Chain A
Amino acid sequence: MPVITLTINDELVSARSGQSLLEAIRDHGIDLPTLCHLDGLSARGGCRLCLVEVAGSPRLLPACTTEAVEGMVVTTHNERIDRYRRMILELTFAERNHTCAVCVSNGHCELQALAAELGMDRVRYDYLNPDLGLDTSHRLFGVDHNRCLLCLRCVRVCDEVEGAHTWDVAGRGIASRVITDLNRPWGQSESCTECGKCVEVCPTGALFDKGASVGEMEKESRFLRRILDGREKRQWRR
């Protein structure tokens, strides 16, 4: 396998040709924050938290959708990047109604944890307070659009792993919403297999098991690697 060499944070690093910058950076033991990325799903470049500086580019680039190239000079953390990452989180919090204290995922939420980790101590933008709905028509699961950050892990896992493509996106820009089938209530979906993968990969409390109360919704996204290893490499393990 062809090996390339690039510079990450002033250090010469080897990577495999065709790897994304995110993979190369994480293989090197450097932690990059991500929300839309999930090992096993296609890269999307949606949440923008993995932005890095690449020498020669005036703008920051998302590491997940940028290919690692021979001779690249990459910076993963500095004052400017940290500032942008906090701004992205603040905008995410301002866009919908992420009231952690009364959320099913309180204490087990990737967005909540990242805000604390990256030092977002307040949101400097005006909260938009959108009037968003909740769909609990499904027998087993619910979707709360107030908590959704449009990472689209649900859309990708349903399409790419389960093969059902129940989830999709309606609307554009700030009006975007995840929908089931052709915007029918989830409970009336004919394509949903009730597998629950979308719920387990959702980073916030947007998708949840019905009956879960505040703080009770713990997700487990590592199942994805297990079933993909079984499918692709014939490696079966618990």
Chain B
Amino acid sequence: MTTDKRKIRLATAWLGGCSGCHMSFLDLDELLIELAGRVDLVYGPLVDAKQFPEEVDLTLVEGAVTNVDNLQLARIIRSNSRVVVGFGDCAVTGNVTSMRNRIPVRDLLTAVYRQARAPIGEEALKDLPALLQQALPLHQAIAVDVCLPGCPPSPERIAAVVTALLDGEPVALDAAMRTFG
């Protein structure tokens, strides 16, 4: 990573999601090369940074806010980022991550961990971040500037949104590019 001052500082984050949105981001193919010339990727599953940095221009957030770690990171992202994008359906609507919401957390943990067989049993609960009562879409935890829907968003949608934001233009997806699912 270079530290060219003129480059836009881009971060990505992975909350309660399956990483499919990040996989779709990698499917940008040759656009990634163009992006590499314009941005510094300062944080995310694709780079090695341990702490969410300060003064980030643009952050793509994948996943719903489903546990206390997600919530803490979301709040740091908001205070350190100029523009926050809800990246994919889990961030925008809660999507599959939120399908657990009709089940009380206690029953959920019992079914998945306490009654589970090895290798992961009840002992895992000591180390795992506490689940929130409900998995929330990102905008119900922090202010979100732009929604990028899709499960996952197609590379075309990602390219359209990221390019517009990097160029400082309004994000204007046509209806076919705005669907959930």
Binding site for B on A (CB under 8 A): 93, 97, 99-103, 106-107, 109, 112-113, 115-117, 119, 121-124, 126-127, 129-131, 215
Interface string of B135-152 (1 = CB under 8 A from A): 001011000100101010
Whether the Cβ atoms of B96 and A102 lie closer than 8 Å is yes
Contact A100 B180 (CB under 8 A): yes
Q: Say if the beta carbon of B16 comes within 8 Å of chain A.
A: no
A127 touches B94 (CB 8 A): yes
Q: Which residue of A is nearest B176, CB measured?
A: A116
A131 to B107, CA, bound (A): 14
| Contact B92–A122 (Cβ < 8 Å) | yes
List 6 other contacts, CB 8 Å, given A101-B181, A112-B179. Answer: A99-B96, A101-B89, A107-B179, A122-B92, A122-B139, A123-B137
Measured as residues with beta carbon below 8 angstroms from the partner, the interface class of chain B is 20 to 34
| B180 to chain A: closest residue by CB | A100
A101-B96, A122-B144 as given contacts; A115 in contact with B101, CB under 8 Å: no
For chain B residues 9-35, which have a beta carbon within 8 Å of chain A? none
Q: Is the CB of A122 within 8 A of B175?
A: no
Q: Tell me if A129 and B101 are in contact (CB < 8 A).
A: yes
Interface centre among B92, B176, B178 (most CB of A within 10 A): B178
A-B contact count (CB 8 A): 70
Contact of B44 with A by CB under 8 A = no
Chain A binding site: helix, strand, loop or mixed by DSSP? loop
Q: Are B175 and A116 in contact (CB under 8 A)?
A: yes
Is B95's CB under 8 angstroms from A99's CB?
Answer: yes
**Assembled-state Cα–Cα distance A100/B92 (Å):** 12
Residues of B within 8 A of A127 (CB): 94, 98, 101, 134, 137
CA distance A124 to B94 in the complex (A): 12
Q: Which residues of B contact A123 (CB under 8 A)?
A: 93, 137
The smallest beta-carbon distance between A111 and chain B, in angstroms, is: 10
The residues of B that contact A115 with a CB separation of less than 8 Å are: 178-180
Give the chain A neighbours of B111 by CB distance below 8 A: none
Q: Knowing A101-B89, A123-B93 touch, does A129 contact B102 (C-beta < 8 A)?
A: yes
